[in-house]
Amino acid sequence: MRILSWNVNGLRACIRKGFGDFLAGCGADVLALQEVRAFPEQLPADVRQPAGWHSFFVPAERPGYSGVAIYSRKAPDWVETSLGVHRFDVEGRFIAAHFGRLAVAGVYFPKGSGRNRDNSRVPYKLDFYRAVFARVQRLRRRGPTFVVGDYNTAHEAIDLARPKGNVKNSGFLPEERAEFSRWLAAGWVDCFRARHPDAPGHYTWWQQFGGARERNVGWRIDAVLATPSADRRVRRAFIWPDVRGSDHCPVGVDLAG
C-alpha cells in the first residue's frame, strides 16, 4: 500500500502541468492533496471523478483558496470532512478517510505569516494544530493512523536550508516548532525523519523565484506522521523532489501488506 501527499498549489494549474499523468503513474492507493484552490465543479470530470478512483473534496468557502482532497483506489468506509469548528472548517483544511481500522487524515495546516508577513496568523495556526491534534488523538484509539499533508512548519534546523535567517519567520518560530515537538512527544512518528535522522538537504517546498529549487534552497514542511502501530507497517518513507507541477513536491510512505 502506498500513501502519498502533495500540496498542488492550485489543482487547476497543476492539471496544466501534468497532474493527470502523475495520478495515473504514481502508484498510490491513497493520495491526499492540499491547496486545491477550486470547487469540485470547477474541475474537469476526469480529475473530479477519475476512472478507477474514489475522490472526495473539502473546499474552502472563499473561492480560489485552500481546500483539501483525497483520492483512493478502494472506497473508504467513511470520510470525515469537518473538525466541527467553524473558523477552521470554512477554510477547507481537514479530511480523513477510514479504511477499516486504518485512518488517513489529509491536512493543510495554515501559514502563520499573515497578509503583511507580521506573523499575525500564528495564533490561528497554533489553535488549528491543537484542534487537529485533539481529533487525531481520538482517531488513533480506533487503530493505525496517518496524518499527512503540508504542516507549514520545519521542525529542526536540518529541515530547511537557511535556519539562521528564518528564526523570526513563521514556519520556523520556536512556538511552531514546539507544537510539532508536542506531537512527537505524544508518540507520533515523523516517518521520513525517523528513517533518515541525519540526512540534510531533503526538502519539500521551494520559493518560486531566484532558482531556489535548482539550488535546493528549500524547506521540509510536508510530512507523513504516524502512530506507532501505523509506523510499524512503513517499509519506506520518501520525498519526490523531481516531481514538478507545484512549488511543493509529493511525500509518501510504502506500507507492508
Domain with 134, as residue range(s), is 2-255
CATH, residue 179 = 3.60.10.10
Q: What is the pLDDT of residue 207?
A: 96
Residue 41 pLDDT level (bands cut at 50, 70, 90): very high
pLDDT tens per residue, range 172-226: 999 999 999 999 999 999 999 999 999 999 999 999 999 999 999 999 999 999 9
**What is the predicted pLDDT for the residue at 122?**
98
**pLDDT given at position 132:** 98
Task: Evaluate if residue 140 carries a pLDDT over 90.
Answer: yes
Q: How many structural domains compose the chain?
A: 1
What is the residue-averaged pLDDT of the chain? Answer: 97
Task: Render pLDDT for 144-163 as a digit per residue (tens, 0 to 9).
Answer: 999 999 999 999 999 999 99
Is residue 257 over pLDDT 80?
Answer: no
Kindly state the average pLDDT of the residues 2-25: 98
pLDDT digits (tens, 9 = 90+) for 173-188: 999 999 999 999 999 9
Mean pLDDT along residues 9-32: 98
Query: Regarding beta strands 222-226 and 145-150, do their DSSP bridges make them parallel or antiparallel, or are they unpaired?
Result: antiparallel
Name the active-site residue from 118, 150, 198, 247. 150
Q: SS3 string of the chain?
A: CEEEEEECCCHHHHHHCCHHHHHHHCCCCEEEEECCCCCHHHCCHHHHCCCCCEEEEECCCCCCCCCEEEEECCCCCEEECCCCCHHHHCCCCEEEEEECCEEEEEEECCCCCCCCCCCCCHHHHHHHHHHHHHHHHHHCCCCCEEEEEECCCCCCHHHECCCHHHCCCCCCCHHHHHHHHHHHHCCCEEHHHHHCCCCCCCCCEECCCCCCCCCCCEECCEEEEECHHHHCCEEEEEECCCCCCCCECCEEEEECC
Query: What is the share, in percent, of the chain residues with pLDDT greater than 90?
Result: 98
Mean pLDDT of 85-105: 98
Q: Is 150 a catalytic residue?
A: yes
pTM of the model as a whole? 0.97
Gap between the Cα atoms of 114 and 112, Å rounded? 6
What is the rounded CA–CA span in Å between residue 246 and residue 242? 11
30-42: average pLDDT: 98
Nearest Cα to 105, choosing from 154, 65, 56, 172? 56
